[in-house]
A and B are shown apart, each in its own frame.
Chain A
Amino acid sequence: MHNFLQKIKNFSVLELRPEPIAISFNDSSLRFLTLQKKTSSILPENYWREALPKNTVVGGEIKEVKVFANCLKNGLHKIGVGNKKATHAIIVLPENATFLQPLSLPKMSKEEIDASLATLVEQNIPLSKEEVEADWQFVDSNENNQQTNILVAATSKIGIEKILEAMRTASIVPVALDLAPLSIVRSLINKADEKSRLIIHFNHDKTIFVLHDGKSIDLAMSSLSGIDFIQKKIATELHADPSTGSGRDPSAAFDLMSVKEFSNDNVKEKKALENSLADIIDQINKFKSFEHSPSEKSDSKKHCVCQEIVLSGYLASLQVVANVISQKTNLPVVVGNPWQQNGELDIIPKMNLSESLQFCATIGGAIYARQWFLNPVLE
């Protein structure tokens, strides 16, 4: 009864359906984004990155619910929605807290898949069906196909409960729990262009790899070589050489790279960057030609050859990084455009490309929010 009255109290008479904001988080920060209203374009209105205290979120799981809720409240105030009684939001879950698995099944209807979801999860996700929250979506809607390709997503129930508790404390009404790989793909991949791509999203604590076959996600995983790790490695290498002054300050390593770029004068920096990116390049070489098991993809699609690498996140806007990766993998490397659904926009008001690339997952969440908002109320 109390909840019901609370809901009535929270209604705005003039709002039939409030447009949700997008919130994404990882181990180091929370990101908030609201879109400009009354426009069909996806353009940012307000955004904010709220740093999380250490050990608040570990491995994508919230450890300190109260601290997390306080950070949520701070973030809401920063983007100007803190005074609302209830804020609807799309929450983008970190990649390392979720499982994403493409599956190829004999032709099945939506109802049949719904009924067998628990079994599918048990067979394909390394968690028991009792402790998992799962959902799925069709990958292609070809009626004549004898196979049904779906994408199954799952996460731990305990993790979800903690997120919901934090949201409740911060007066946030979650409309959907989205996954970071899906959000990143939504913001970076143009659906019309069916090229298979590998998206590399650099975060502070990890790097996310998303292999996309032009229609759907083939594979999503993360490596612990985030930019913090890369930066430390560069700093260590440069520090070992007393002739390079920049080695003393790890945070300045990338600034130096971006200014000098590749030339004969900075061979040491180039070498340091190559070494720091070695793990990531190893991973890319594994994904360049990826073979799925028969249960994951139908025969015609099981072999995915990557045609292009798309960079996003913190390092993406540094040309030197794109050059090293391209040189080492022999693949074209492009910097992602998180606003590609608006067409070829070079500059987005309020948000430059570097910031936009860091907010890729949040932007994907905001696109989800806009789609939900535009969906008919009674559907």
Chain B
Amino acid sequence: MDIINLLPKKQKSDLKTEQGLRLVVFALSWLSFTILILCLLLYASNSYLKIQQKSLDDNLASQKNNPRWAEVLNSETKLKDLNTSIKNVLTLQSKIKFWSPFLAEMANNNTAGISFKNITLNTTGKLAVISGHAETRENALDFQSALEKNSFVSEVKAPLENFLDQTNIDFSFTLLLK
């Protein structure tokens, strides 16, 4: 306020300090008041929850005294055991790879002039090695092509030795499975 005020400078400065102090006290008072209200609300909620918990505890205690309580406990134990068994079965099932569809598809796409000697399947289920005999190089190439088209196979690794001879080839293919 730019209005004449003949109050000495010291008094004006004291008044400003008082105003600042008043502002702080006012803010702190309202803050304390708000905190007090929140504390009261929390205390009331806590008391309500304690009453609720006590009521539930009492209810549980009375249930335990009931003759059917042992039956309920027995059923609960059995259910727990059953849950554990189901969990184990599911774990084992997730680890097993079902090979039959892969072998069936390979048998369906059987190429002429090819005979198998050995099929090695990796336990992780991601790798298979097939060795056998092909009458001609063309038969071996056809077989490789058939393997590449197999829906279970993502990659076929064939060593160069498989195709060095024109006839009577002992081949070996390493398959990466999907």
Contact A153 B4, beta carbon cutoff 8 Å: yes
Stretch at the interface among A8-16, A26-34, A320-328, A332-340: A8-16
Question: When the two chains form their complex, are residues B23 and A178 in contact, meaning their CB atoms are under 8 A apart?
Answer: no
Closest to B10 in A: A164
Q: Would you list which residues of chain B between 4 and 19 have a CB under 8 Å from chain A?
A: 4-8, 11, 15, 18-19
- Contact of B25 with A by CB under 8 A: yes
**Judging by beta carbons under 8 Å apart, are A177 and B7 in contact?**
yes
Contacts of A160 in B (CB 8 A): 6-8
Check B4 against A135 for contact (C-beta < 8 Å). yes
Indicate if the CB atoms of A176 and B23 lie closer than 8 Å.
no
Task: Check if A145 is an interface residue, CB within 8 A of chain B.
Answer: no
Chain A residues closer than 8 Å to B21, beta-carbon distance: 7-8, 11
CB of B45 within 8 Å of the partner chain: no
In the complex formed, the residue of A with least CB distance to B5 is A176
Q: Which residues of A contact B29 (CB under 8 A)?
A: 13-14
Q: Determine whether the beta carbon of B4 is less than 8 Å from that of A136.
A: yes
- A residues 60-92 in Cβ contact with B at 8 Å: none
Give the distance in Å from the alpha carbon of A19 to the alpha carbon of B19 in the complex. Answer: 12
Known contacts A7-B18, A13-B29, A17-B19, A182 near B2 by CB under 8 Å: no
Prevailing SS type, chain B contact patch: helix
Question: Does A287 lie at the interface of the complex (its beta carbon under 8 Å from any beta carbon of B)?
Answer: no
B23 in contact with A16 (CB, 8 Å): yes
CB distance from B178 to the nearest CB of A (A): 73
Which stretch (A194-202, A246-254, A348-356, A370-378) binds chain B?
A370-378
CB pair B26–A134 under 8 Å, yes or no, is no
Contact of A133 among B8, B18, B22 (CB under 8 A): B8
Nearest B residue to A176, CB-CB = B5
Q: How far is the CA of A14 from the CA of B3 in the complex (A)?
A: 28
Number of B residues with CB within 8 Å of any CB on chain A = 18
Establish whether residues A98 and B6, one from each chain, have CB atoms under 8 Å apart when the complex forms.
Answer: yes
- Given the complex, which residues of A lie within 8 Å of B6, measured CB to CB? 93, 98, 133-135, 153-155, 160, 176-179
Chain A residues touching B, range: 35 or more
Q: Is B25 within 8 A of A177, CB to CB?
A: no
A214 at the interface (CB under 8 A from B): no
Q: Are the C-beta atoms of B23 and A378 separated by less than 8 Å?
A: yes
Alpha-carbon gap, A175 to B16, bound state (A): 10
Q: Does A331 contact B (CB under 8 A)?
A: no
Residues of B within 8 A of A177 (CB): 5-7
- Indicate which residue in B4, B8, B25 contacts A179 across the interface (CB closer than 8 Å): B4
Q: Is B104 an interface residue (CB 8 A)?
A: no
Given A98-B6, A153-B6, A179-B6, the answer on whether A372 and B1 have CB atoms closer than 8 Å is: yes
Choose among B6, B7, B18, B25 the residue with the greatest number of A CB atoms under 10 Å from its CB: B6
Residues of A within 8 A of B7 (CB): 160, 174-177
B15's closest neighbor in chain A, by CB?
A: A175
Interface residues of A in 206-246 (CB under 8 A from B): none
A278 at interface by CB-CB < 8 Å: no
Chain B window 18-37, contacts with chain A (Cβ cutoff 8 Å), 1 for yes, 0 for no: 11011101100100000000
* Chain A 148-167 per-residue mask, 1 if CB under 8 angstroms from chain B, else 0: 00010111010010001000
A137, A174, A175, A375: which contacts B4 (Cβ < 8 A)?
A137
Interface residues of B (CB under 8 A from A): 1-8, 11, 15, 18-19, 21-23, 25-26, 29
Q: Which residues of A contact B (CB under 8 A)?
A: 7-8, 11, 13-17, 93, 98, 133-138, 151, 153-155, 157, 160, 164, 173-179, 182, 368, 371-372, 375, 377-379
